[in-house]
Amino acid sequence: MVDFRPTNHPELENFLRTLRGKPYLIDPLTRLESLTRLGPVMDSLGFFEEHDLRGKWDLLNTCTHLFFYEDASLDMISVYSNMVLDNDRIDPDQGLKFLTVTVIKDADDWIWLIADKQRVIKDSPRTAHEVAIGLSPNDIFLSGAKSWKCDQITGLLNALSSPEFRSMVSEWHGNYRTD
């Protein structure tokens, strides 16, 4: 039995529309799920969890799929990023390339994994988020999301261990590599 499956864009949009203005439909991850199960896996992949509401908003503000979240909902979802905030590590040819990973558990114990591939390319208009991370003027911001619907925490961990997810992390590595 498969405990996770990829979702298509209309399915993801429908799920997020359902949540709009209804934070009671979101069930936060338990401390056990978050700290002892998910946290170590995300750490091993080079991701850092954002706990601050302002930080979550900044990371998700540029994501097309999460544009409608209100601050009241943000404390109920888990947001991770592998972005490196070190201008010396930003590749001048590729700009800044990173993933924002959002984990949303619904009231039926399904966990949605949304990986937003983000890239800032030099010499394009910049957003407030890009200004905040110190990028030069005229950068292009590109975004593209992939998502999975997971059956509880086990399905989420299996999705994070899948070859497809690991390959995406390798490609969208957060500019921490020197090769």
- pLDDT of 20 over the 60 cut: yes
Nearest to 78, CA basis, from 114, 117, 128, 24: 114
With bands split at pLDDT 50, 70 and 90, how would you rate the model's confidence at 153? very high
pTM: 0.80
Could you tell me if residue 70 is inside a domain?
A: yes
Q: How many domains does the chain have?
A: 1
Could you tell me if residue 48 is inside a domain?
A: yes
The 10s digit of each residue's pLDDT in 36-72 is: 899 999 999 989 998 888 788 777 765 545 555 555 5
- pLDDT of 163 over the 90 cut: yes
Question: What domain range is 167 assigned to?
Answer: 4-171
Could you tell me if residue 176 is inside a domain?
A: no
Could you tell me if residue 12 is inside a domain?
A: yes
- How distant, in Å, are the alpha carbons of 4, 111, 158, 165 from that of 162? 10, 16, 6, 5
Could you tell me if residue 118 is inside a domain?
A: yes
pLDDT of residue 123: 52
Could you tell me if residue 177 is inside a domain?
A: no
53 backbone dihedrals φ, ψ, rounded to 5°: -60, -40
**Mean pLDDT value across residues 153-178:** 85
The 10s digit of each residue's pLDDT in 126-152 is: 444 444 444 444 444 445 788 999 999
Cα separation, 142 vs 117, whole angstroms: 8
Is residue 152 left, alpha or beta, with left meaning phi > 0 and alpha meaning psi from -120 to 50?
Answer: left
What stretch of H or E contains 43?
A: helix 39-44
pLDDT of residue 156: 97
Say if residues 153 and 37 touch (Cβ distance below 8 Å). yes
Could you tell me if residue 166 is inside a domain?
A: yes
Could you tell me if residue 155 is inside a domain?
A: yes
Amino acid at 115: A
pLDDT of residue 24: 87
The 10s digit of each residue's pLDDT in 85-119 is: 555 555 556 666 788 899 999 999 999 999 988 77
With bands split at pLDDT 50, 70 and 90, how would you rate the model's confidence at 121? low
